[in-house]
Amino acid sequence: MRIALIGNPNVGKSLIFTQLTGVGVEISNYPGTTIAMKSGTTCVQRDIHELADLPGIYTLDGTSDEEVLVRQEIARGGVDAAIVVMDATHLERNLYLFLQVAETGIPIVAVVNMMDEAEAMGLQVDSDRLSAILGVEVIPAVAIQGRNIADIMPRATGRARPAAVQVPYDTDVEAAIRSLEKTMGATRVQAIWALEGIGGSPDIQESGKLLAQEIEPPHRMTIHQIIAANRHHLAQRIAAQVVGRGAPARGLDLDRLLMHAWPGVPLLLLILGAMLLSVFLLGSVMEDALTGAFESAVLGPVGQAGLPPLPAALLTSILLAVQAGLGIAFPFVFLFSVLLSVLEDTGYMTRAAFLADRAMHRVGMHGGAVIPLILSFGCNVPAVMAMRTLRTRRERTIAAFLVTMVPCSARTVIIAGMVAAFIGIAAAFSVYLLVAVFTVATGILISRITPGEQFGMILEISPLRRPDPRLVMVKSWHRVRDFIFLAFPVLLVGSTVLGLADYAGVLALFQASLAPFLQAILGLPPYAATALIFGILRKEMAFETLVVLAGTANLPAVMTPLQIYTFALISTLFVPCVSTIAVLSKEVGSRVALAVTAYTVALGLLVGMAIHLMLG
């Protein structure tokens, strides 16, 4: 049996999914055109069932990628039973989607999650009454505590049934549905979707369109408005019958502080600044300890083992790559992930989006774009994926440029490891400042020349919650794991190729050919060229390669402070890594990905040149 979790965004579907599929269960990613649906297996009474976590949606009849994906999954018969997850605190709005899923006729069990939060707000949800009205089993649950989660799968596999509740539409719409059912042999849901112009065979859809044109003028509303109003109306009536309102426990309204320009905006800047600074300082200390330990425990003994030259060169490059990877993954990626997860789980991100709406308009986007921008401090790859929440291609194109310019944790390594370590913390922050200036300038420029319309932000503010430390750690661990899987192969292959090239003398040739250019234009030593090129593969390799090629970790011995600063700034401006380029071309197309890569590389070289010419 294939069972799917369906529900509004942010109702706890993924949490339930993780709990149901559990440890040791295979979780795979099915890449769609632009969105992925997670799928896993779970065992009920010795039968294995497939469970799919569908993306969160507000409606089944929309045209966004997520909505189309869910609708098609249902229409193609890919869902044998649906677990419709609803948020007890927003039951009415969640019922709107439930009614649409009910219309499709697939067997359903309903989960009303976040019962604890509803109780805290003084709401009592009568799940028996709800079950009687909807005609399906209703499981009241608290996913975060695991309450009643064990009930879900047995009921979904054994007792899911098509819902009895049916939206009574406007008489004209009902007449049109009946006519489509009779004349074209359409099912009720096919008829409704045909009227909305989103489904059914071409001839059913054609008739639906004609009927819709007849219905609209006397109502002076579009067919979508009529249908939506009817559904909302029923949802409202059901919610009124099952939700009891007691006295809400009124606590401190934090939003009065968080969501006003004062002190909200200073707080936002403070939070971001504190996050950067703590990763910066803590990360450097942790990295030193980690790489130092690796050096004395592994690299040192291997160097003294007296292996023949070729294996020794190979092994050393591989171990160097592992060291670089570990040095970044744990201190920087992990720290960022923990802090970002905390920010995400509190619900602060949507508030930041609201506050930043005005600033984002200046660079051609809306407040929602702030979420990928903040995420990109951790790693650009998930940030690029988070750009899906931006609704227009124009906004995604602008965001693609800006997100890739934000210094990710790997670039933080370069800034911390080179500039802060050898020049000073003020110089390190000047790199951030310069990058910020270039990012804003780029945003203004790109928003001027990118064609397309700009729509505003319509964003649901998520409730404020205290993050669960366990969930934060799990999420951070998953991100570090993803990073290791993504980064290590590239690091290993790159490092090995580099080691081999050095051994074969190719590297010397390559450096010799680029040396005059680098020396004259950027004022950098020849070996820095190779390091910069490898920096495009993976950012942390730029630093790593530089150290290997310079033959010493004590860079001031071989480079002037200005050279170190220039190198760090150029690598920071360069596109972060091949993984980012790959995910960019998947999300916004290869042309934009290419443009972003070319632009950042050109910008880096130009800025390097300017610094050399002015100060060198």
Partner 1 sequence: MQTSLREDILEAILCLAGEGGGPVPVAEIAAQLRAEAGILDPVLAEMARGGEVTLKGDTATLTGAGMDRARGVAHRHQVLQCFLSERLGIDGTSADREACRLEHQVSDDTIDRLSAFLEGGGRGPRFRGGSIRGEGSRPLTECAEGEKVTVEMIRGSHNLPRLLDLGVLPGEPLEIRQRLRNRAVVVRVKECDIALSPEVASSILVVRAV
Residues in contact with partner 1 by CB under 8 A are 58-59, 62-63, 89-90, 92-93, 96, 217, 219-222, 224-225, 228-229, 232, 236, 255, 259-261, 350, 353-355, 357-358, 361, 366-367, 453, 455-461
**Which of 139, 143, 104, 141 minimizes the C-alpha distance to 18?**
143
> Is 84 in a helix, a strand, or coil?
strand
Q: Which is nearer to partner 1, 354 or 534 (CB)?
A: 354
Q: Least distance in Å: CB of 458 to partner 1?
A: 5
Q: Least distance in Å: CB of 10 to partner 1?
A: 10
Q: Which is nearer to partner 1, 146 or 248 (CB)?
A: 248
Given a contact cutoff of 8 angstroms between Cβ atoms, the answer to whether 543 and 414 are in contact is yes
Q: Which is nearer to partner 1, 28 or 225 (CB)?
A: 225
Q: Least distance in Å: CB of 354 to partner 1?
A: 4
What pairs with residue 28 in β-bridges?
39
The C-alpha atoms of residue 19 and residue 528 are separated, in whole angstroms, by 49
Q: Least distance in Å: CB of 407 to partner 1?
A: 27
Q: Least distance in Å: CB of 447 to partner 1?
A: 15
**Which of 48, 148, 152 minimizes the C-alpha distance to 109?**
152
Q: Which is nearer to partner 1, 82 or 352 (CB)?
A: 352
Q: Least distance in Å: CB of 62 to partner 1?
A: 6
Burial of 232 (0-12, 13-18, 19+ CB in 10 A): middle
**Which of 138, 71, 57 minimizes the C-alpha distance to 106?**
71
Question: CA of 391: how far to CAs of 62, 70, 368, 452, 595, in Å?
Answer: 13, 18, 10, 12, 21
Q: Least distance in Å: CB of 85 to partner 1?
A: 16
**DSSP H/E element including 48:** strand 47-53
Q: Which is nearer to partner 1, 185 or 456 (CB)?
A: 456
Q: Least distance in Å: CB of 562 to partner 1?
A: 42
Q: Which is nearer to partner 1, 150 or 444 (CB)?
A: 444
Question: CA of 212: how far to CAs of 175, 180, 215, in Å?
Answer: 11, 11, 5
Q: Is the bond preceding residue 218 a cis peptide, omega within 30 degrees?
A: no
Q: Least distance in Å: CB of 252 to partner 1?
A: 15
Contacts of 586-590 with C-beta under 8 Å, sequence gap 24+, read: 586/34, 587/34, 587/384, 587/385, 587/387, 587/388, 587/396, 587/400, 588/384, 588/387, 588/393, 588/396, 588/397, 588/400
Q: Which is nearer to partner 1, 228 or 558 (CB)?
A: 228
Q: Least distance in Å: CB of 393 to partner 1?
A: 13
Q: What is the SS3 assignment for 222-263?
A: CHHHHHHHHHHHHHHHHHHHHEEECCCCCCCCCHHHHCCHHH
Q: Which is nearer to partner 1, 70 or 324 (CB)?
A: 70
Q: Which is nearer to partner 1, 222 or 554 (CB)?
A: 222
Given a contact cutoff of 8 angstroms between Cβ atoms, the answer to whether 112 and 86 are in contact is yes
Question: Which pair of tokens denotes residue 187?
Answer: 């099912």
Q: What angle do CA 115, 119, 125 make, to 5 degrees?
A: 60
Q: Which is nearer to partner 1, 209 or 361 (CB)?
A: 361
Q: Least distance in Å: CB of 57 to partner 1?
A: 9
Q: Least distance in Å: CB of 343 to partner 1?
A: 17
> Is 433 in a helix, a strand, or coil?
helix
The C-alpha atoms of residue 485 and residue 473 are separated, in whole angstroms, by 18
**DSSP H/E element including 195:** helix 188-195
Q: Least distance in Å: CB of 614 to partner 1?
A: 38
User: Which spans in 329-424 are helix H?
Assistant: 335-346, 348-355, 357-362, 370-375, 380-386, 393-405, 409-414, 421-422
**Which of 574, 581, 541 minimizes the C-alpha distance to 438?**
574
What pairs with residue 81 in β-bridges?
3
The C-alpha atoms of residue 514 and residue 511 are separated, in whole angstroms, by 5
Q: Least distance in Å: CB of 350 to partner 1?
A: 7
Given a contact cutoff of 8 angstroms between Cβ atoms, the answer to whether 396 and 364 are in contact is no
**Which of 106, 83, 50, 80 minimizes the C-alpha distance to 152?**
83
Q: Least distance in Å: CB of 396 to partner 1?
A: 16
In this structure, the chain runs to a length of 616
Q: Which is nearer to partner 1, 62 or 303 (CB)?
A: 62
